[in-house]
Structure 1
Amino acid sequence: MIRVARLMRVAGLRAAMGRRPLLSATEADVQPEPDVAARHRPVARDAAQQLGREEAWAWLWAWPARGPKGAGRCSRADGGQDSGSCCARYWGPGLRRRRGGLSPPRAAARCGLVMATEQRPFHLVVFGASGFTGQFVTEEVAREQIASEQSSRLPWAVAGRSKEKLQQVLEKAAQKLGRPSLSSEVGVIICDISNPASLDEMAKQAKLVLNCVGPYRFYGEPVVKACIENGTSCIDICGEPQFLELMHAKYHEKAAEKGVYIIGSSGFDSIPADLGVLYTRNQMNGTLTAVESFLTINTGPEGLCIHDGTWKSAIYGFGDKGSLRKLRSVSCLKPVPIVGTKLKRRWPVSYCRELNSYSIPFLGSDISVVKRTQRYLHENLEDSPVQYAAYVTVGGITSVIKLMFAGLFFLFFVKFSIGRQLLIKFPWLFSFGYFSKQGPTQKQMDETSFTMTFFGQGYSHGTCVEKNKPNIRICTQVKGPEAGYVATPIAMVQAAMTFLSDASDLPKGGGVFTPGAAFSRTKLIDRLNKHGIEFSVISSSEV
C-alpha cells in the first residue's frame, strides 16, 4: 500500500505538470515502454536496489517525455545524449527519497535533465551560444563561474541548433580559460528558433535565458513568448529600437502577470548610456535635468572591424523606420515633462570643444532606451526626468566628409530591396571595411576600447528650476574594452548575475524593462566597475 501511494503521488505530480501519465499505479507489475527500459536499465537496476521495483519504474517514468526531433533533448557536453550511462553517472548511486516524490542529487542538473519536479535544473542558459557574439558570452559566463567560489557556482547550460558547434564553443572557451574541459560543468540543450516546442523545453529548464540570437526583429519574439509562457526571465543584447519598443507594447502586461522579467539592450547597447545617465544623476549634488553623451572609439594600428550581424540589424532598422514611427504614434503615451531649461539639439555635424573633436548624432538604441528608462522612473518612482541626447565623435574634418558620403550612400541603398540585398551581401565593400562576415580579429579586439563621456547640467538643492538657468555642471565617463565582443558579454553576464543575486532590488511584479529601469536600485554598476567597465566622475562644479 505504501508503494502504491508513492506511485499515485508521482502520477499526480506528472499530471499537474502536463506530462505523459504513468501506467496505472494499481498494477502489480509496473513496466515502462521497451525503449525506455533499454535506455535506462542501468539506472533502474540501481534504483530498484534502494527503492523497490515498482517505485524505481515510477521514478523512470516521471522523466519528461522526449519531444520531437531536435526539441529540447537532454545532452551532455561530452557527447552523451539521453543515455542510460549519462543518467546513471549522476542519478544512479545518489538517489534520495523525499516526501511527495524523488529528489536526484544536484549533479543531475549539470547533465541537462529536466527533473519531474517544479525545480529548474539551470540558473541560466545561453541561447545562441554558437553564434559570433554568443561564443564570447559563453566564455564570459564560464570565466565568471570559474572566478566564483565553489559553493557559489551556478548550474548553467548552452543552447543552440547544433550539438557539435556548442561543444566546439565550450572547448574553445575551456582552452582560453586554461581549463582542461567544461564538459562536466555545462549542460547542452538542442533547440531551434523555428521550433516553438524546443524553445518551450529550453525555457522550462532555466530561471534566466540569455538570448544572443539576432537580428531580433526576426528571431527575438519567439524567445520572449516562450519565456513568458513558461515563467522564465530573459535578458538580451538587442540594439534595435523597433523590437525593444514593440516587445514592451505587446508583452509588458503579460510578463507582469507571470512575474517574469524581460530586460532588453543589456550589452554595449545600451548599458553604458542608460546606467551612465543614472550614475551621473546619482553623483550630482542637486537635480540633474539634461545630459549629452559623446561616444569615442579608440582603435589600434589594425583599425576597427565589426561582425556583419550588427550591419544587418542596422540595414533592416533603417529600411523600416516607418514601422517604428507608426508604433510610436499608436502608443498614446503621455509626453515626459521637461524639467528646467530645454536641452538644445546640436547640428548634424557639430564641434565639441571639451573633447576637441567633431561629432554627429549617435543613431543606435541609446536615446530610445534612456527615454524609456526616464519615463519609467518618473511614472513609477516619481524621479525627476532627465533629457538626453547622444553623439559619437568622428575626429577631424576629413573624417566628417568621409562619413557624410558613406551615410548618404547607406541611407539611399536601404530604401530599396535590391539595395538592401547588396548591402547585406557585400558588407566589407559598402561599409568601407568597418563590417565583415568574419568579424574582428583577436588583435583588433585587444587594441580597441571605448569611452563614453557625459556632460550633465542641473540645479542645486533649493533652486527654482522654472525661473533660473542650470547652475551645476558635471562631467562623468564610462570606459571599457572593445564594445561589441568584450564589453557586451561583460555587461550581459553581470546583468544576469545581478538579476540572480539582487532579486529583491528589482522592480516588483515583473514586466518588460530597460536596463536602467530594471537595475537602477541594484549593484550592477559596482559589478561592472570590478569587471573592466569603469564609471567615474571627471569634474563637477557650480556656476
Structure 2
Amino acid sequence: MATERLDVIIFGATGFTGKYTVYEAVSVLKDLRWGIAGRNREKLQTVLKEMGAKAKKDLSQIPIIIADVNDEASLIEMAKSCRIVVNTAGPYRFYGENVVRACIEAGTHHVDVSGEPQYMETMQLKYNERAKERGVYIVSACGFDSIPADMGIVFVEKNFDGVVNSVETFLVNGAKDVSADSGRAGLNTGTWESAVYGLAHADELRGIRQELYPQRLPKFFPILKHRPLLFKSTEVNKVCLPFPGSDRSVVMRSQRFLYDHDKKRPVQMHAYIGFPSWLVAIVVALFATLFGLLTKFKLGRILLLKYPGIMSGGFVSPSGPSEARMEKTYFKMTMKATGWPSSQRLAEGSDQYTEPPTKTLMVRVSGPNPGYGSTCVALLSTAVTILRESSKMPSTGGVLPPGAAFSKTSLISELEKHEHGMKFEILANK
C-alpha cells in the first residue's frame, strides 16, 4: 500500500536557513505531518538531532527524503510525497527552478524565501499558466523578504477605511546587545551570493518585465515621489537610504495582480532603510556603491564570491551569525500610508482623483531575529495557510507574490501567534 503523503517537506534542511526552519517547524507545524529532504542522509539526521535538542523534542522519527536539486527524478518523487514543499535551498537563481518545475508536475504547492527578483519574475513568466492548470500555488518571498512589506500593505488597506494612494516603508534593524558576540559574522554566504548574482544580472529585469506585463498600468495621481538619496526621516527619526532589497518589486507584483483581477486601485510604494547617524548611513552608502560596482565585472564577482569575509569586512561567513547574536536582533518596519477617506471613494478602481490625499495611517510590522527567526516562521506560516485556507486564495493557483496569494487569508493572525513571528500594529490614524 502506498505511503500516505506528508503535509510538508522542508527541502534543503541542512543549509543555514533550512536547519532553523526545522527548529521552528516543531511549533509551527505541530499539528501537521512533516519531513525533511536533502542530498545527504547523515547530515539530515544530524540536523534533526541538533534542532531536536534545541527544541527539547525527539525528532528522530521525522521522515527523511533523499533528493538532489540536480536529479529531476528525485525531486519529482519528493514532491509527490507531500502536499507542499518548503524550499530553503538557494541561491534560487541556480537551484530554484528545478524544484518549482518538479512541484508543478507533481501537483504540489511550493513556497520559498527568495529575495531575488529575476528568479521570482522568471518563474512567473515561465510557469504561471502551467501552475494554474495544475491547481498549484508557487509563492516566493515568504521570509523577511518580503512578508513585512507585502503583508504590511495588506494590513494597511484592511485598516485604512478609505482608498490608499501610496505607502512608504522605513525599515530599522537593531540589536539589544551584540558587544559580547561582536566577533561573529552577521550574514551567511548563501545570502551574500544571492545579492552578488542579483546585482550582477539586474539588467535582465527590464526584458523579463516587458514580457510579463506587455501592457503598462495607467498612471495614478498624485504620483509618489522618491525621497532624496540620503535624508533624515521624521517618521522613524533615522537617517535613511533607499532600501536595496526585493520589497518594492514584490509589492508592485501584488498590486498589479490585484488591479488585473479585482480592479483595485494599485498602491504606489517606495522603500527605505534607516541608520542611527549620518556617518553610518554614508559609510553604508559608500560600501553599497562599491559592492554594486564590483558585481558588474567578472573579477569583482570572483573577489566577492571567493573572499566574502574579507570583502565584507568580516560581516559574512559560511557559518553565519551565532545563535546568541541572532536572538538579540530585531526589525521594525514603519509604514506611512496616505490616501482618501471612504466618503471620497470613487466608483471604479481605474478612476482618477482630482483632490490631493487627506488621510494618513501609520502602522508598524516588527519581529525578532529577522534573518533566521521571523523568516523561518513566516515561511512555514505561508505553507500552513495554503494547506488550511486555499479556498480563500486566488482559485486557480499560479506563481504569485505573498500579497496577491494571501490578501484574503488569516496569514497575519498566523504570523502573530508564534514566538518568532511578526507583530502588526496601528501607530496613528488621521
Tell me if 1:305 matches 2:186. yes
Tell me if 1:250 matches 2:134. no
Tell me if 1:411 matches 2:292. yes
> Are the equivalent residues in 1 in contact too, given 2:109–2:138 (CA < 8 A)?
yes
For the residue of structure 1 that corresponds to 2:364, the secondary structure is strand
Tell me if 1:526 matches 2:404. no
Q: Distance in 1 between matches of 2:80 and 2:136?
A: 13
Name the counterpart of 1:22. Answer: none
- 1:338 is displaced (CA, Å) by 4.1
Q: Distance in 2 between matches of 1:417 and 1:227?
A: 34
Amino acid at match of 2:423: E
Q: Distance in 1 between matches of 2:38 and 2:267?
A: 40
Larger Rg: 1
- Structure 2 residue corresponding to 1:496, chosen from 383, 387, 403: 383
Name the counterpart of 2:324. Answer: 443
> Are the equivalent residues in 2 in contact too, given 1:162–1:190 (CA < 8 A)?
yes
Amino acid at match of 1:127: F
Name the counterpart of 2:85. Answer: 209
- Structure 2 residue corresponding to 1:470, chosen from 357, 360, 381: 357
Q: Distance in 2 between matches of 1:333 and 1:305?
A: 40
What TM-score, normalized by structure 2, do the two folds share?
0.94
Q: Distance in 2 between matches of 1:433 and 1:329?
A: 39
For the residue of structure 2 that corresponds to 1:321, the secondary structure is coil
- 1:236 is displaced (CA, Å) by 0.7
Amino acid at match of 2:21: V
Q: Distance in 2 between matches of 1:193 and 1:211?
A: 11
Tell me if 1:539 matches 2:416. no
Name the counterpart of 2:252. Answer: 371
- 1:416 is displaced (CA, Å) by 1.2
Q: Distance in 2 between matches of 1:251 and 1:260?
A: 10
Q: Distance in 2 between matches of 1:388 and 1:243?
A: 21
Q: Distance in 2 between matches of 1:231 and 1:331?
A: 24
- Structure 2 residue corresponding to 1:131, chosen from 3, 12, 15: 15
- 1:339 is displaced (CA, Å) by 3.6
For the residue of structure 2 that corresponds to 1:398, the secondary structure is helix
- 1:332 is displaced (CA, Å) by 4.1
Count matched residues: 417
> Are the equivalent residues in 1 in contact too, given 2:187–2:320 (CA < 8 A)?
yes
Superposed CA deviations along residues 210-238 of structure 1, whole A, max 9, x for unmatched, are 00110000000000000111111100110
Greater shift, 467-476 or 319-328, is seen at: 319-328
- 1:529 is displaced (CA, Å) by 1.3
Tell me if 1:188 matches 2:64. yes
- Structure 2 residue corresponding to 1:329, chosen from 191, 210, 217: 210
Name the counterpart of 1:402. Answer: 283
Name the counterpart of 2:263. Answer: 382
Name the counterpart of 2:158. Answer: 282
Name the counterpart of 2:349. Answer: none
Give the alignment's Cα RMSD to 1 decimal.
Answer: 1.4
Q: Distance in 2 between matches of 1:432 and 1:398?
A: 17
Greater shift, 496-505 or 464-473, is seen at: 464-473
Percent of pairs with identical residues: 39
Tell me if 1:296 matches 2:172. yes
Amino acid at match of 2:136: V
Tell me if 1:431 matches 2:308. no
> Are the equivalent residues in 1 in contact too, given 2:125–2:211 (CA < 8 A)?
no
Superposed CA deviations along residues 138-165 of structure 1, whole A, max 9, x for unmatched, are 111122244xxxxxx2221100000001
| Change beyond 3 A, Cα 1:176–1:262 | same
> Are the equivalent residues in 2 in contact too, given 1:337–1:385 (CA < 8 A)?
no
- 1:461 is displaced (CA, Å) by 1.9
For the residue of structure 2 that corresponds to 1:502, the secondary structure is helix
Q: Distance in 1 between matches of 2:79 and 2:169?
A: 37
Superposed CA deviations along residues 318-366 of structure 1, whole A, max 9, x for unmatched, are 1111212221233343223344411011122122122221111111111
> Are the equivalent residues in 1 in contact too, given 2:241–2:285 (CA < 8 A)?
no
> Are the equivalent residues in 2 in contact too, given 1:428–1:435 (CA < 8 A)?
yes
Q: Distance in 2 between matches of 1:145 and 1:394?
A: 36
> Are the equivalent residues in 2 in contact too, given 1:338–1:387 (CA < 8 A)?
no
Tell me if 1:486 matches 2:337. no
Amino acid at match of 1:528: L
- 1:256 is displaced (CA, Å) by 0.4
- Structure 2 residue corresponding to 1:160, chosen from 13, 33, 38: 38
Tell me if 1:514 matches 2:419. no
Amino acid at match of 1:157: G
Q: Distance in 2 between matches of 1:432 and 1:352?
A: 28
Unaligned runs of 5+ in 1: 1-101, 103-113, 147-152
Name the counterpart of 1:74. Answer: none
- 1:121 is displaced (CA, Å) by 1.8
- 1:408 is displaced (CA, Å) by 2.1
Greater shift, 136-145 or 201-210, is seen at: 136-145
For the residue of structure 2 that corresponds to 1:335, the secondary structure is coil
Superposed CA deviations along residues 144-192 of structure 1, whole A, max 9, x for unmatched, are 244xxxxxx222110000000101111111111112x2122x1100111
Q: Distance in 2 between matches of 1:336 and 1:321?
A: 22
Q: Distance in 2 between matches of 1:381 and 1:329?
A: 22
Q: Distance in 2 between matches of 1:472 and 1:433?
A: 45
Amino acid at match of 1:249: L
Superposed CA deviations along residues 448-494 of structure 1, whole A, max 9, x for unmatched, are 00000000000012327622110001100001011110010010011
Q: Distance in 2 between matches of 1:333 and 1:361?
A: 27
For the residue of structure 2 that corresponds to 1:501, the secondary structure is helix
- Structure 1 residue corresponding to 2:28, chosen from 119, 130, 144: 144
Amino acid at match of 2:37: A
Q: Distance in 2 between matches of 1:508 and 1:234?
A: 16
- 1:530 is displaced (CA, Å) by 1.5
What TM-score, normalized by structure 1, do the two folds share?
0.75
Name the counterpart of 2:135. Answer: 259
Amino acid at match of 1:519: F
Q: Distance in 2 between matches of 1:435 and 1:455?
A: 32
Amino acid at match of 1:224: V
Name the counterpart of 1:172. Answer: 50
Tell me if 1:268 matches 2:144. yes
> Are the equivalent residues in 1 in contact too, given 2:5–2:80 (CA < 8 A)?
no
Q: Distance in 2 between matches of 1:363 and 1:278?
A: 21
Q: Distance in 2 between matches of 1:494 and 1:122?
A: 16
For the residue of structure 1 that corresponds to 2:36, the secondary structure is strand
For the residue of structure 1 that corresponds to 2:138, the secondary structure is strand
Q: Distance in 2 between matches of 1:309 and 1:155?
A: 28
- Structure 2 residue corresponding to 1:505, chosen from 381, 392, 399: 392
- Structure 2 residue corresponding to 1:225, chosen from 90, 98, 101: 101
Q: Distance in 1 between matches of 2:260 and 2:211?
A: 19
Superposed CA deviations along residues 111-154 of structure 1, whole A, max 9, x for unmatched, are xxx53xxxx521110000111100011111122244xxxxxx22
Unaligned runs of 5+ in 2: 347-351
> Are the equivalent residues in 2 in contact too, given 1:288–1:386 (CA < 8 A)?
yes
